[in-house]
Structure 1
């Protein structure tokens, strides 16, 4: 399997002596947030490489793509950290990371680590009819929800996909009125109640800080 062609590597700066470099290998849906944390904390020895976020539509492909990317970049870095949760891989990604000797975020998915995994899991027993958005998904709702599900062509499928949901919960990483409007509009289009929670970066910041 070849590395996805849209895999990108953005250098935020290396350590002055060229040693101690850390690569954050991340889902493209986290690119803005991780880049912001790198800048905010002056982690000049960290670089960021992102795999396409659309891999989430085929989670069985994530472990292989991550594994190939780790091997592709391993010789250049002292350490690689995988900024993915399990993301629907049923533990396969964690096994891949163990085999490669790299760490990953200990969370089921980005909704959990943005809200705080313990908090998210404590809510799950009574919030199983919620559909979640992050800043990324609020921004890319058509590209990652509407069009892949065919709702742009067949809006009558809405009930088949979302008939058992009751509300859309927007887990906001930033105070952005435009994104809040996008998320509220998404809830309206899906016929769901709307709730917004400002989470910030949640567990993502501490996870990266431990690598720094």
Structure 2
């Protein structure tokens, strides 16, 4: 089982330096990155994930990425950072530029899963998004951090300006669709389902 909220290092052949690429990813992307690697035969890429809980603390992401890049860069020809801006206000891009490593394009994972061009063209300012990861971890990353398990009356304060929940699905999984619909019902939001697959994440990895 992939530890969604902990650091993950892929098990496999030890890095050999020349020709190998380290994928330094948000823990929320672990399943998806491993799936893309398997589908496209990207055996020269190794995966290390930072804790997914950084999703709730974007100000900590640039420093965590810098520490990991400095720790691993001596063992790899290249490092590819699998975060978008993710709420860092451009600080992660500045950090990656200074370190000389590439990162994913886009403002956040909802955008690159949907496809950055398509997402930018949509008028969905009142939409609350879930991915496969967030459907699985809804209570850990939404309900409990917002205190909705203890104070359900806070729902209107947090979600009163949203009109729908859109599940951006990476896999066509009926169980997750049912869970996402239940999440929408709990928040009092209209439910929409959109199958995205791996979107720009897959394109970025196959061209890296």
Shorter-chain TM range is over 0.9
Residue 193 in 1 paired to residue 193 in 2?
no
| SS of corresponding position for 1:128 | coil
- The CA RMSD over aligned residues, in Å, is 1.4
Q: CA offset at residue 44 of structure 1?
A: 1.1
Q: 1:60 — aligned with what?
A: 59
TM-score by length of 2: 0.95
Following superposition of structure 1 onto structure 2, how do residues 143-182 of structure 1 map, counting pairs within 5 Å?
143-182=140-179
Q: Distance in 1 between matches of 2:83 and 2:11?
A: 19
Q: Distance in 2 between matches of 1:170 and 1:47?
A: 29
Contact 1:25/1:50 (8 A) holds in 2: yes
Structure 2 gap segments, 5+ residues each: none
The number of residue pairs the alignment matches comes to 204
Which deviates further from its counterpart, 37-46 or 197-206?
37-46
Structure 1 gap segments, 5+ residues each: none
| SS of corresponding position for 2:10 | strand
Contact 2:17/2:74 (8 A) holds in 1: no
Q: Distance in 1 between matches of 2:158 and 2:143?
A: 11
| Structure 1: 4+ residue segments shifted above 6 A | none
Residues 43-77 of structure 1, C-alpha deviations (whole Å, 9 max, x = no match) = 11110000011101110000000000000101111
| SS of corresponding position for 1:36 | helix
| SS of corresponding position for 2:185 | helix
